Amino acid sequence: MTKKLFVLAGEVSGDMHAAGVIAELLKARHEVSVFGIGGQKLRALGAELLYDTSQMSIMGFVDVLKHTGFLRKVIRDLKKAIRREMPFAALLVDYPGMNLLMARFLHELGIPVIYYISPQVWAWKEGRVKAIRRDIDRFLVIFDFEVEFFRRHGINAEFVGHPVIEELDEITLPTREQFFRTHDIASDVRLIGLLPGSRPQEIAHILPEMLKAARLLSRDYRTVFLFGRAPHLDDSAYHLLSQYKELSIIGCSAYEVMQFSDLALVTSGTATLESLCFGVPMIVVYKTGMLNYLIGSILVKLKNISLANIVAKGLGSSERVVPELIQHKANGLEIYRTARMILDNAESLEAMRRELLAARDKLASASPSQKIADILQEYL
């Protein structure tokens, strides 16, 4: 008899992390079928998706308000499907705005709730710990410092390791020589990576400033720019590139950007953590709408916002391994000046690389996907 599992992964990264778990689960239990919200990777595993992650890419307070009607419809449809299928368990991945709401509903139905990748309540909205304590059966976290934080709030958080480690172990990249030969890159050029994010809203705010900085850097150095495109976005998201035809820009995967860049300009988010694992020196950039920024600056408690600095230096530390340029500082001229200071100091570049690689060990190297698949089997 088929056993139903509800999965809610509302973002591209969540789809990737959830797919790793489901792939391991299906190897052991062929009778399981998945339904819910996900993206390309969950669909490839046979999941029945009520909504796709591309429809759920809604971020920021203002954007959420604009899409309230749509989000209410999504929640209604999910609740209807859950009542109909009555899954043996629910795997909720990150995406706290909707997942914590659904956790309450699932809990009231008596469906076990496994939450993977904690809301960053250590940064903001600490009041969410009450909902976590009340509605979630197994709370699986990806940073070791989260265990102690949640213990203080009476929550038994289980550290499973960060999925980025196992995901990076599975990819195959060309050698430096192969990459240079394929793209006809001279050996004496500076390679600067551009990672403007995976959401259209991020790209609209951040890509223009990255390209302004790139234009300035190209006047000072013999430079090739490695541009990491989000595979789920079409060309319209990157229309601005056509205005910078004088720059030598090579489109490639985000991981190739991280592997081969001398310095990367990275939008704050998971990409900073992935870049940390590659040990690539970086400048973290973030910019959003002014209203979103003002609300966020009131609510967020952290001194650093990038995961690279938080993992490397600790949750409450104000020290930084990599510079962070946020909001008004995230402009082309400031990015350019910061990049120049780093590029012109070989010792600084190497020290940054060493510290980032050392911090990778804090993410653990065990397989979280296998651990979580084993936990789901307990509920079967």
Give 17-67 pLDDT, tens digit per residue.
Answer: 999 999 999 999 999 999 999 999 999 999 999 999 988 776 555 566 676
307 confidence band (pLDDT: 50, 70, 90): confident
Report residue 155 as tokens. Answer: 């929550």
Classify 3-161+364-379 by CATH class. Answer: alpha beta
Query: Where is pLDDT greater, at 124 or 297?
Result: 124
Closest by CA to 323, choosing from 265, 271, 277, is 265
pLDDT of residue 305: 75
Q: Quick one: pLDDT band at residue 296, thresholds 50, 70, 90?
A: low
pLDDT digits (tens, 9 = 90+) for 317-342: 778 999 999 988 999 999 999 999 99
**Rounded mean pLDDT of 161-169?**
87
311-335 burial code (b ≥16 CB/10 A, e <16): bbbebeeeebbbbbbbbebbbbebb
Q: What is the mean pLDDT of the chain?
A: 90
At 42 the pLDDT is 97
Q: What is the predicted pLDDT for the residue at 300?
A: 59
pLDDT score for 332: 96
Q: Please, what is the angle between helix 346-360 and helix 270-278, to 10°?
A: 110
Q: Is 293's pLDDT higher than 70?
A: no
Q: pLDDT band at residue 227, thresholds of 50, 70 and 90?
A: very high
Q: Let me know how many helices (H) and strands (E) the chain has, helices first.
A: 17, 13
Given strand 263-267, what is the order of strands in its sheet?
Answer: 249-252, 223-228, 190-195, 263-267, 282-286, 324-326
Average pLDDT over residues 347-358: 93
CA dihedral 144, 167, 197, 37 (to 10 degrees): -90
Alpha-carbon span 211 to 333, nearest angstrom: 10
Give me the phi and psi of 139, to 5 degrees please. Answer: -115, 110
The pLDDT value given to residue 64 = 64
pTM for the structure as a whole: 0.76
For residue 289, the model assigns a pLDDT of: 67
pLDDT of residue 58: 65
C-alpha 286, offset from chain centre:
14
* pLDDT surpassing 60 at residue 299: no
What is the location of CATH 3.40.50.2000 in the chain? Answer: 3-161+364-379, 175-363
Q: Taking 60 as the threshold, does the pLDDT of residue 209 lie above it?
A: yes
Question: What's the pLDDT score for residue 269?
Answer: 83
Q: Which fold has domain 175-363?
A: Rossmann fold (3.40.50)
